[in-house]
Amino acid sequence: LKAWLKRLPYFSILVPVGNMALAALKSEGLAFAYFGQALKQMVFDPIVRARTTFITFCTGFIRVASNELLTSSQCKTCEEVVEERCGKGNFTGLKGKVAIITGASNGLGLENARCLMKYGCHVIWAVRSPDKAESALKKLEKEGKFEGKSTILKIELSDLTSIKPFVESFLSLKLPLHYLICNAGIMSPPEWAPSKQGFESMFATNNLSHFLLTELLLPKLKETAKVSEVRVVILSSLAGASCHSIDPAKLPCPKEEYDEMAEYAVSKAVDCLHARHIQKHLGNSNIVACAVHPGIIETGLGAGNVGITTLLYGSVTMSAFRKPVPKGAATTLYCTLSPDITQHAKAGSFFYYNCRPQHGPNVLSAGDDLVDAVHARQLELVKPYM
């Protein structure tokens, strides 16, 4: 039979096509199984339901994803955002400006760094691996000329003891700081894992490290704000919009209550509350903060979790919601550079996607008492490392 099949026309084409179709079906099945299990836990698991419910998933994740898809035409590319701010071809438009970008050596952070440097901004690459950053920078320099400088400094966001040395290294450069872009992060490790200090690793990396970094840089941010508006841009996610509730006493999450999806929702919601706290307490000091949902972009985020990466990056179902890196990186620089952000902040906006201010549903719009309580809890946790 096999020999007979091989004599059929187009057999050499049909076999790989069939194999690809089977692989796609297998991938789709894995994605739906993971999605179904997540929904089941939102409905039936009281520990998960305390943080994210089926209702908040619908009013948060699904609503934001649907609106993002419907308004995707409003989203420019990262470079178009900078061109709009500086003028096309005005490659010295950001001369004198200084930005820190965590995770600048790949993905969205790399695209942000490229566009800012192209238009004259001095970018501090805050990275875990300086060697990897050097390679990425050399590749960029081969592709085009940059008017802005770059300085690579080491930081390990999963280790709070590395944050203060990074800040000291930056301060030794005697530079102002106009833009702090808290870009780096991890997504949904399948198992609870401790950071160097014993905190749940996702909360330590995504939240505590950037919180401590911001606190230690506040004197420099305030100093710069005396002569120029300062922006703090924090990468959040539509996952945060599905968060139902946050218990500050359970930050970071205890090992026995860890759920990868629910805790990622909490982590990204905390990012939004961080931006709100900065806005509330420093908005009158010429410092503006924003939380950004960049979109669903395959950048390596979620590596190690086959279920969630297959769902977000591999399934046909989610393909309409995915963005390329140049568009995914655009809202970050819109919040960094657009003159409109100042007025948005005065109107109470803090959550952005598709280069527009958006409504922050569910816990993102919680009262100021929760914003202050979450801030106080993070400050308590990082105090030994300040």
Active site residues: 258
Q: Are 269 and 248 spatial neighbours (Cβ–Cβ below 8 Å)?
A: no
Q: What is the DSSP letter of 254?
A: P
Rounded Cα gap, residues 210 and 198, in angstroms: 17
State residue 351 phi and psi, 5-degree precision: -110, 130
Distance between start and end Cα atoms, the chain: 73
Strand pairing class (351-353; 356-358)? antiparallel
Helices (runs of H) and strands (runs of E) counted in the chain: 17, 8
Phi/psi at 354 (5° precision): 55, 35
What is the spatial distance between Cα 219 and Cα 225, in angstroms, rounded to a whole number?
10
Within 113-154, strands assigned E span: 122-127, 150-154
* Contact between 288 and 341 (Cβ < 8 Å): yes
Q: Tally the C-alpha atoms within 13 A of residue 331's C-alpha that lie toward its C-beta.
A: 30
Amino acid at 52: T
Q: Which two tokens stand for residue 72?
A: 């995707």
Task: Please choose, from the candidates 114, 133, 236, 115, the residue with its C-alpha nearest in 3D space to the C-alpha of residue 183.
Answer: 236
Give every CB contact of residue 150 below 8 A, 6+ residues apart in sequence. Answer: 113, 117, 122, 123, 124, 125, 137
Q: Give, in order, the Cα–Cα distances in Å from 324 to each of 100, 110, 127, 251.
A: 23, 13, 22, 33
